[in-house]
Structure 1
Amino acid sequence: MSKSTDAPASSPIPMPSPATVVDRLRAAGCVFAEDEAELLMDASATPAELLAMVDRRVAGLPLEHIVGWVDFCGLRVAVDPGVFVPRRRTELLVRRAAALAVPGATIVDLACGCGAIGMAVAGLVEDVALHAVDIEPAAVRCARRNLAALNAQVYVGDLYDPLPARLRGQVDVLVANVPYVPTEAVGLLPPEARIHEPLVALDGGADGLDVLRRVAGGAGNWLAPGGHLLLETSLEQADAALAALAGAGLAPTLARDDELPATVVIGRC
Structure 2
Amino acid sequence: METIQILLLAFVQGITEFLPISSSGHLVLTPLLFGYELQSLAFDVSVHLGTLLAVMLYFRTEIVRMVAAVLGSTRTRSLENPDARLGWMLLLATLPVVLLGLPLKSLLEYLRQDDTLIAFVISGTTIGFGALLWWADWGGKRARDEYSVHWRDALVVGLMQAIAIIPGTSRSGITITAGLMLGLTRRAASRFSFLLAIPTILMAGALETLDLLEAQDPTDWLALGLGAAISFAVAYLTIHFFLRFIERISMLPFVIYRFLLGGVILFLVW
Normalising by structure 2, we get a TM-score of 0.23
Normalising by structure 1, we get a TM-score of 0.23
> Which structure has the greater CA radius of gyration?
1
Name the one with the larger strand percent. Answer: 1
Name the one with the larger helix percent. Answer: 2
